[in-house]
Copies of this chain bind each other. A is one copy, B any other.
Amino acid sequence: MATIKDVAQDAGVSVGTVSNVLNGGRVGEERRRRVEESIRRLGYQVNGLARGLRTQRTDYVVLILPNISNPFYSTLLQDLERELALAGKYPLLCISEGNPEKEIRYLKMAKNNKVDGIIGVSFSDVEEYVDESMAVVSIERHFPQRIPCVACDNFLGGQLAAENLVRRGATELLFLQTISSVESEVSRRRDGFEEYCIVHGIPYSSVSISENQVSSVFSAFSARGVIHNVLKVHMEETVNDRRPNGVFAGADHLAVVVMEELRAMGYRVPEDVQLIGYDGLRVMNSGGLFVSSIYQDTRAIAEAGVDCLIRLLNGEQVESVMDLPVRFMEGGTTLGLRDPKQSRTGQASGWDSEKRVRE
């Protein structure tokens, strides 16, 4: 392959001049033409390794996701890849499976190979492995330090779930989610849900399944047994006939299992029990929704994440973005609104709703 030296020779100029035309430096009209001509003739392309060795940066960005079996993450990945490509970056993919060692291996590599930055979903404690100079953006996990976090408004999402169950006729709610050991913004869904219930005086129960009880927090099917037991306890609490008729599952993959289990127990969904999940996933990513759900716009997350990264790379001060919009979407596991006329939030139509103003 042709080198910058070959081009310089061919064009009858110095390598410095070639480098200048390559990098937008000041070059005379005449020489610039000659160099460009030589570049074309020789089919010259910059050697990224040599450039990287000199400049201490590459166009690589490490992407850390826990798992992509879950359509939420694979959709997010697809969106992140598109945004990075638009920004001229190349994603190095790390699927951590929640394994800190694998993440650390990537973090070290990122440092050694002068990767420009990292975008990661709730990874291990990055701090000690990343260089100060490396741009880092966290998704769905808020670090106390200088690392910007990007997330949807999870608190609002939790409120919306409760509100929609109630306004569709549910009177006794149950919240269910799996939690991993790392503290993540995701847990705020529960906070929002509970706040709504408390403020409106709705009776509810909350159940958080620890990651220790399931083989993977990203695949609810491994949690089927636990979910079965939880539902059994809560649904058959016939003491005072106050069994839940509205369930909020903290993620769609859980909601699907909850739906199956409820039906297996003889309950009709949504007639007997209404169900709302989280993420707004679609069958095969473009069919109907698996369940009624709080939709998260992965594209908005990806855009905000990459935007943060690019600005960090430009040396700007970057703040967290944690209020990306969410909205309720009807997916067959909820009933119609009881008070459509009174709707102040406009969630009824699903698609057209605006972000609800927090009260």
Contact = CB atoms under 8 A, between A and B. Distances in A.
Q: How many copies does the complex hold?
A: 2
A49 B115 CA distance: 10
A111 B45 contact: yes
13 contacts: A47-B113, A48-B114, A50-B53, A69-B78, A70-B284, A70-B285, A81-B93, A82-B95, A85-B105, A90-B106, A92-B92, A220-B284, A221-B284
A270 to B, nearest CB: 19
A148 interface: no
Contacts of A58: 49, 113
Contacts of A81: 93-95
Contacts of A78: 67-69, 95
Nearest to A75: B69
Interface residues of A, number: 56
Interface in A252-267: 252-253, 256-257, 260
A287 interface: yes
A95 B84 CA distance: 11
A52 interface: yes
A198 interface: no
Interface in A171-188: none
Contacts of A90: 92, 106, 109
A168 B359 CA distance: 59
Interface string A291-327: 0000000000000000000000000000000000000
Contact of A257 (B92, B221, B253, B287): B287
Contacts of A67: 78
A77 interface: yes
A284 B93 contact: no
